[in-house]
Structure 1
Amino acid sequence: MQKSAAKEVNVVMNGLAFGESPRWHDDRLWFCNWGTGQIVAVDAEGNSQVMLTVPATLPYSIDWLPDGRLVVVSGRDGLVLRQEPDGTLATHADLRGLSTSPWNEIVVDGRGNIYVNGGGPAPAPGQHFGPGTIVLIAPDGSVRQVADKIAFANGMAVTPDNKTLIVAESHANRLTAFDIAADGSLANRRRWADLGNGFPDGICLDAEGAVWYADVPNRHCVRVREGGAMLDSVDADRGCFACMLGGADGKTLFIVAAEWRGFEHMISDARTGQVLSIEASAPGAGWP
């Protein structure tokens, strides 16, 4: 496996709590600053702006509808919120009837299907997470569960042809793929890549069909091909929570990273979060 040590890792932004759910949108990297309720946009030079503050501290995640409106998963509230043109937030979907456990990540595909993961049964005593689910919010507003028994559901991505959804199963050390049917349902669940001792968190796709995944305990991001071949990696000095390809040519890998001190210390005054960037070999593709 190639290491990107020869390439320079740049620090784009410092002083964050926990960066999560990074998205390249309107020529800037948008991300959720967990612990503060802020949604932040930053350009490649580090010029940042708080775009919105939401009534959540963690978990929450973001994406955009085909018409350009921002949607936010307010994980502990079980709501998907939609930002209206006047800046106010309205309820786009209510997931509380599906689970009392927090919801996590979101991806909107090219047809307007919204996939949200997390939720699921309550965790066993002494555990932070139970088996996760994936729900579909269809363009007509209907909501239904389309997958279950996900081992700590984390990042998700949809291929450019809208035919495959890939999800990170952090506690199973794998990326799992589903075929997407015409109505948005998921089928043909299969192992896309076995990651060995890797713990995938946020993910993104590139134009060569490879996936970059962030890994908190191993403090790196890894590029992997379907079947599990490791192609490249980027090391950091702290946990990597998620990654996103963007930049002018789509070939900048942005990484949100922070020191990991355990779930019980996720909300604290520590501000070890960073946005990092490094040149990648292929531009981003698909969704998000």
Structure 2
Amino acid sequence: MRKPQTLMTGLAFGESPRWHDGRLWLSDWGAYEALAVDAAGHSEVVASLPSFPSCIDFLRDGRLLVVSADDGRLLRREPDGSLTTYADLSGLADHPWNEVVVDGRDNAYVNNIGFDFPDGEPAPGTVALVIPDGSARQVADGLWFPNGMAVTPDATTLVVAESYAHRLTAFDVAADGSLRNRRSWADLGDGVPDGICLDAEGAIWYGDVPNKRAVRVCEGGAVLETIELDRGCFACALGGTDGRTLFLVATEWNGPTGMTTGERTGQVLILEAPAPGAAWA
């Protein structure tokens, strides 16, 4: 069983890792900060986050997108560091927005949990599409706690982690960004997928909080590798100089009330992956 190394400690509640411009970027939800971490584990606060959660991804020109869950906006970080409204999602759902992923055409997909987590009655969530002019529309529904998302390099398939349904769900992406042909990409048994990333061999890594592990699966659900951890794995990303470094964001899970209080148990862990991350075609 392979064991990861520790790159960074002291996170309050890390999430949403993305490899960009030679560093790992991630959200620390508990500290309301976005961080960039280099290969030696040195970190820099690159933005103050407006809400919890605040997932991130990047446009092709390098500008950061930030989900502002509290007011239903997708924000864009400008070169001077300021955050401006990129899209208003508030009219599409009344519940918290969660993950964001940007494809190679600068279409941004943002998912909505569908209920007031953690106290609300569970209900299915949705996915919205934000096109480059900032307009937004709903493109999928009926997802049980939509979480991490990934788009294939040719921008033809979107995969969504449904945490409460124990599966990865795929959609075909139409030329206008609409989603069609919903299907199960992988049934995960007792797996509870959170953040995901896609590799160049077409496999997906997913973080699993209650089972304290990261798992690599191929389409259909066959398990290719499992990395056991001593705390919940919330998300994963592939990057590094050759794209083969697997970054795992892990935190001791003590229930929703512990997300922003208590000891800082969040870590970034690393190990070499069998395949590099999938790059845009």
Contact kept in structure 2, 1:158 and 1:286, CA below 8 Å: no
Aligned to 2:182: 189
SS in 1 for 2:164: helix
Cα distance in 2, alignment partners of residues 264 and 44 from structure 1: 32
Aligned length, in residue pairs: 280
The aligned runs of 1:151-170 (5 Å cut-off) are 151-170=144-163
User: TM-score of the superposition, structure 1-length normalised?
Assistant: 0.94
Match of 2:22 among 27, 35, 46: 27
With normalisation by structure 2, the TM-score equals 0.96
- Is the CA contact (8 Å cut-off) linking 1:168 and 1:201 kept in structure 2? yes
- In 1, are the aligned partners of 2:113 and 2:145 still within 8 Å (CA)? no
1:15: Cα distance to partner? 0.9
CA distance in 2, matches of 1:131, 1:17: 28
Aligned counterpart in structure 1 of residue 107 of structure 2, from 113, 116, 121:
113
- Asked if 1:99 is matched to 2:93, the reply is yes
Q: Is residue 236–residue 248 contact of structure 2 (8 Å, CA) maintained in 1?
A: yes
- The 8 Å contact of residues 99 and 119 in structure 1, kept in 2 or not, is answered as no
Deviation readout 1:10-46 (Å, 9 max, x if unpaired)? 1001111111000000111100001111101111211
User: In structure 1, how many angstroms separate the alpha carbons of the residues matched to 2:118 and 2:267?
Assistant: 33
Single out whichever of 257-266 and 149-158 deviates more from structure 2. 257-266
Contact 1:74 1:103 in 2 (8 A): yes
Partner of 2:84: 90
Q: Quote the offset at 1:140 in angstroms.
A: 2.4
Partner residue of 1:38?
A: 33
Contact 1:114/1:136 (8 A) holds in 2: yes
Measure the CA separation in 2 of the matches of 1:66 and 1:10.
31
Residues 286 and 76 of structure 1, relative CA distance in 2, 3 Å threshold: farther
Q: Secondary structure at the match of 1:284?
A: coil
The aligned amino acid for 1:185 is: S
Shift of 1:266: 1.3
152-161 or 277-286: which moved more? 277-286
Q: Do structure 1's residue 138 and structure 2's residue 131 form an aligned pair?
A: yes
Q: 1:21 to 1:128 in 2, by over 3 A?
A: farther
- How far the C-alpha of 1:66 sits from its partner, in A, is 1.6
Determine if contact 2:3/2:228 at 8 Å carries over to the other structure: no
Tell whether 2:223 aligns with 1:219.
no
Ranges in structure 2 where 5+ consecutive residues have no aligned partner: none
Any idea what SS the aligned residue of 2:257 has?
Answer: helix
Query: How many angstroms does 1:141 deviate by?
Result: 2.0
- Could you say if the C-alpha distance between residues 105 and 49 of structure 1 is closer, same or farther in structure 2, counting changes exceeding 3 Å? same
1:272 is matched with which residue: 260, 265, 275?
265
After TM superposition, where is structure 1 displaced by more than 6 Å over at least 4 residues in a row? none
* Partner residue, 1:171: 164
Cα deviation, 1:44-96, whole Å, max 9, x if unaligned, reads: 2111111111222x111111112211110011221101111221111001111
Quick check: 2:55–2:98 contact (8 Å CA) kept in 1?
yes
1:237–1:82 CA distance, 2 compared to 1 (3 A)? same
Structure 2 vs 1, CA of residues 38 and 230 (structure 1 numbering), >3 Å: closer, same or farther?
A: same
* Counterparts of 1:21 and 1:129, CA distance in 2: 23
- Which residue matches 2:57? 63
Give 1:239 deviation, angstroms: 0.2
Partner residue of 2:222 out of 203, 223, 229? 229
CA contact (8 A) 1:123 1:130 kept: no
Q: Quote how far apart the aligned CAs of 1:129 are.
A: 4.4
Contact 2:109 2:128 (8 Å CA) reproduced: yes
RMSD: 1.5
CA 1:246/1:20 → structure 2, altered by over 3 Å: closer, same or farther?
Answer: same
Identity within the alignment, %: 63
Structure-2 residue corresponding to 1:76: 70
Distance change >3 Å, CA 124–CA 159, structure 1 → 2? closer
The CA distance in 2 between the partners of 1:137 and 1:9, in whole Å, is 36
Q: Which residue matches 2:11?
A: 16
Deviations 1:141-168 (A, max 9, x none): 2210000011001000000110000000
